[in-house]
């Protein structure tokens, strides 16, 4: 087993100062110097976080904290189709470029999220009546344009996001024409176009709710095998891990899921970790963060853990659920300590 690679961990913080167990106030300004209480953290596997340029650009404390605490970022929304693909031949990379350039100036790697999804589809695409030939050309052109634009700056892409239902069937959608018009081959078309646009980028299929096993994980494993057999490029599977402190998967279950995907021949990442408190204590939530980190650290194929946001005040779930590792005042929680401690054990 490799030795712990955490270069620096948390600055000493008393447990009472960690703010666990009590509901964090909404939208309180970060206290001056909050970010400075977290020293530069580098772990193996590394940690990432999701950020949005419109929030980050106006928030000095957040911009100070992110490069200290994390090794990579994922744009939470700035790269999604409805943000980028404005019209059939019109792209808007302004926010994504600003965020990616900022990240690279800070020495942070960037995960690209996401190219093909059934949500956040531009209305002109949902509303169109496309022939298969036309839509195939559009999909290929779109993926090549976006991945090509960031070639060399984004090293990992969620090429296809959340393709399966809980029952393990490819997901149909009123908003996204991909499956309905192109059939299941849309997945291979997107992956091939991404590889052509940036041969060095790692290409992922990202999925929600697969970490607990079941038909969705079975379907993912089958998809990986089918794609590989057909010579379609796929490098990894992302496990989102939007978890619930009241009913979390066990560490053993998480490891089992990761090992199963690794055995199918792909890398694994935890891509969107958060843990809704649902009334659970800070200690209980921290145990879940610790289990996820420990599972990833125990499986060689698990290359990174990304938390879906920095502080409780900016989570998509809402501050009331306290789902992240820093509280609404940007103080590290027990969950941060548990996560960094667990991943540093590899």
Report the alpha-carbon distance of residue 187 to residue 183 in Å, rounded.
9
The 10 Å CB-count burial string (b at 16+, else e) for 235-253 is bbbbbbbbbbbeebbebee
Which of 162, 207, 211, 240 is labelled catalytic? Answer: 162
Among 198, 269, 272, 291, binds ligand G3I (CB under 6 A): 272
Q: Report the site for ligand G3I in 85-124 (rule: CB under 6 A).
A: 119-120
78 binds ligand G3I (CB under 6 A): no
Q: How far is the CB of 208 from ligand G3I (least distance, A)?
A: 5
Report the alpha-carbon distance of residue 126 to residue 168 in Å, rounded.
24
Report the alpha-carbon distance of residue 170 to residue 220 in Å, rounded.
10
162 is catalytic: yes
Q: How far is the CB of 47 from ligand G3I (least distance, A)?
A: 18
CB burial class (10 A; 0-12, 13-18, 19+) of residue 138?
middle
Q: How far is the CB of 232 from ligand G3I (least distance, A)?
A: 22
283 is catalytic: no
49 binds ligand G3I (CB under 6 A): no
Cβ proximity to ligand G3I: between 119 and 172 the closer is 119
Write the DSSP symbol of residue 332.
Answer: B
Write the DSSP symbol of residue 210.
Answer: -
240 binds ligand G3I (CB under 6 A): yes
156 binds ligand G3I (CB under 6 A): no
Q: Report the site for ligand G3I in 309-328 (rule: CB under 6 A).
A: 316
Tokens found for residue 80:
């999604």
Radius of gyration over every alpha carbon of the chain, rounded to an integer in angstroms? 20
Q: Residues interacting with ligand G3I, by CB under 6 A?
A: 76-77, 119-120, 161, 208, 240, 272, 316
Looking at the annotation, which residues are catalytic?
Answer: 162, 272
């Amino acid at each position: 087993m490799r030795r712990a690679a955490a270069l620096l961990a948390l600055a000493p913080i008393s447990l009472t100062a960690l703010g666990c167990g009590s509901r964090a106030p909404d939208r309180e300004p970060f206290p001056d110097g909050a970010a400075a209480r977290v020293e530069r953290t580098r772990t193996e596997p590394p940690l990432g976080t999701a950020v949005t340029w419109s929030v980050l650009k106006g928030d000095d404390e957040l911009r100070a904290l992110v490069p200290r605490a994390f090794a990579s970022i994922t744009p939470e929304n700035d790269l999604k189709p409805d943000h980028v693909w404005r019209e059939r031949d019109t792209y808007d990379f302004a926010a994504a470029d600003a965020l990616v350039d900022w990240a690279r100036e800070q020495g942070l790697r960037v995960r690209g999220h996401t190219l093909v999804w059934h949500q956040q589809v531009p209305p002109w695409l949902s509303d169109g009546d496309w022939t298969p030939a036309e839509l195939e050309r559009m999909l290929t052109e779109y993926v090549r344009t976006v991945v090509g634009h960031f070639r060399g700056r984004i090293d990992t892409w969620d090429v296809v996001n959340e393709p399966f239902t809980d029952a393990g069937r490819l997901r149909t959608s009123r908003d996204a024409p991909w499956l309905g018009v192109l059939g299941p081959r849309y997945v291979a078309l997107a992956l091939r176009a991404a590889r052509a646009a940036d041969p060095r980028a790692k290409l992922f299929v990202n999925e929600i709710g697969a970490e607990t096993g079941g038909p969705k994980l079975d379907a993912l494993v089958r998809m990986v095998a089918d794609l590989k057999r057909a010579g379609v490029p796929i490098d990894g599977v992302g496990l989102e891990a939007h978890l619930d402190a009241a009913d979390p998967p066990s560490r053993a279950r998480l490891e089992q899921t990761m090992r199963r995907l690794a055995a199918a021949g792909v890398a694994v990442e935890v891509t969107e970790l958060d843990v809704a408190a649902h009334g659970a204590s800070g200690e209980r939530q921290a145990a879940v963060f610790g289990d996820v980190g420990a599972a990833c650290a125990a499986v060689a194929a698990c290359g990174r853990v990304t938390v879906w946001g920095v502080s409780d005040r900016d989570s998509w779930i809402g501050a009331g659920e306290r789902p992240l590792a820093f509280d609404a005042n940007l103080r590290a929680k027990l969950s941060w300590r548990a996560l960094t401690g667990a991943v540093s054990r590899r």
